[in-house]
Chain A
């Protein structure tokens, strides 16, 4: 192994500290009891919609849409999830159903 134990520990510590910086920063800047600027309150209200959309893109970032299987299993899995959710609106059922469709496709079809 190229790293010494201390270098490994430092690498893990840096990863942890960087992660915690991104999680704690907003709470450190905008403390309880102090008035949060209007623009930040506006962001707090409207950001989540964009964030959930971005998370879906993030989950699909490594899917290749121009090579076999063209993202079709992913599209089918998402479609199944959405249809189930529109129909029954049971989160666990939608998630399980969509995942089942995807697993069947990648294991047996493609």
Chain B
């Protein structure tokens, strides 16, 4: 196959996976760009931030950071707390992103929740180039976010139809991805550890600072019950 055909095939395969993200990112990105606009920032801000940071929740928080006094240390601590979950994505993607050459830099740079989730779970057909598939998923997702933010900043006040509740599309997407993961595996220790740690940490620490305790809880459970989990994993594979 010629290189052009390889690229086109990967793009065609990747695009349908990104459709829910197109809807979700245009909506959320638009809301973010509009928020920046009404907060008094030029469209250049959301444009630069959506390209450089490319992390939705932090970008929303950054709006209020930019409106307060300059506090570099607090900014870094806040950003690390919000983004810490990416450490887990990286550990999960070590194998899949191995040997991707120059693409790897972009794949890791653009590894948001959504691109990670798709690239981790997608069943990529044998005849589709994996590297280009990952690349196009990441690139499409980022282009949706950046264009959504830009449109929101420029045309936010022109939109009047009722989009209340549309942000649920991201929750629904993670629910289906979770369901897929659940159905793929026979034993569910890890999923249950994730829920238990998440819910307990949320109740104890509140919505602003529960993620790091929740991640610590997951690591602790997976560490303590490693023997059991590995045994489950083996028996799970044997019965397939």
Interface residues of chain A, those whose CB is within 8 Å of chain B, are 1-4, 7-8, 10-16, 18-27, 30, 32, 36, 39-40, 42-62, 73-74, 77-78, 81-82, 85-86, 91-92, 94-96, 98-99, 102-103, 105-107
A55 and B117 form a contact (CB under 8 A): yes
A77 and B177 form a contact (CB under 8 A): no
Q: Which of B127-135, B145-153, B158-166 contacts A (4 or more CB under 8 A)?
A: B158-166
B111 and A23 form a contact (CB under 8 A): yes
A22 and B104 form a contact (CB under 8 A): no
- Bound together, the chains give a CA A72 to CA B49 distance in angstroms of 35
Across the interface, which residues of B come within 8 angstroms of A56, CB to CB? 171, 174-175, 178, 195, 198
Q: Does B9 contact A (CB under 8 A)?
A: no
B164 and A106 form a contact (CB under 8 A): yes
With contacts A14-B76, A82-B175 known, is A46 near B164, CB below 8 A?
A: no
With contacts A50-B222, A92-B19 known, is A22 near B172, CB below 8 A?
A: no
Across the interface, which residues of B come within 8 angstroms of A91, CB to CB? 20, 173, 176, 180
Q: Given A23-B109, A99-B166, A106-B164, list of 14 further CB < 8 A pairs? A: A7-B70, A19-B53, A22-B83, A23-B90, A36-B94, A44-B92, A46-B233, A50-B194, A52-B191, A57-B194, A57-B202, A58-B85, A59-B171, A81-B172
- Bound together, the chains give a CA A81 to CA B117 distance in angstroms of 17
- How many inter-chain residue pairs (CB < 8 Å) link A and B? 254
- Bound together, the chains give a CA A73 to CA B172 distance in angstroms of 12
| A-B complex: 5 closest residue pairs judged by Cβ atoms | A53-B194, A26-B90, A50-B194, A57-B198, A49-B190
With contacts A11-B72, A52-B117, A91-B176 known, is A24 near B90, CB below 8 A?
A: yes
B173 and A95 form a contact (CB under 8 A): yes
Q: Residues 166-208 of chain B: 1 if any A CB is under 8 Å from the residue's CB, otherwise 0?
A: 1011111111111111100100111111110111001000010
B122 to chain A, nearest CB (A): 10
B residues 198-231 touching A (CB-CB < 8 Å): 198-199, 202, 207, 210-211, 214-215, 218-219, 222-223, 226, 229-230
A102 and B165 form a contact (CB under 8 A): yes
Q: Does B43 contact A (CB under 8 A)?
A: no
B70 and A52 form a contact (CB under 8 A): no
B48 to chain A, nearest CB (A): 7
Q: Which residue of A lies closest to B40 (CB)?
A: A1
With contacts A21-B80, A59-B174 known, is A95 near B87, CB below 8 A?
A: no
B198 and A24 form a contact (CB under 8 A): no
Across the interface, which residues of A come within 8 angstroms of B16, CB to CB? 92
Q: Which residue of A lies closest to B52 (CB)?
A: A16
Q: List 11 A-B contacts (CB under 8 A).
A: A4-B70, A12-B62, A12-B66, A44-B94, A50-B197, A56-B198, A57-B202, A95-B176, A102-B165, A106-B165, A107-B165
Across the interface, which residues of A come within 8 angstroms of B95, CB to CB? 44
Across the interface, which residues of B come within 8 angstroms of A8, CB to CB? 45, 66
A47 and B171 form a contact (CB under 8 A): no
Q: Does B68 contact A (CB under 8 A)?
A: yes
- Bound together, the chains give a CA A85 to CA B179 distance in angstroms of 8
Q: Which residue of B lies closest to A94 (CB)?
A: B176
Q: Which residue of B lies closest to A32 (CB)?
A: B98
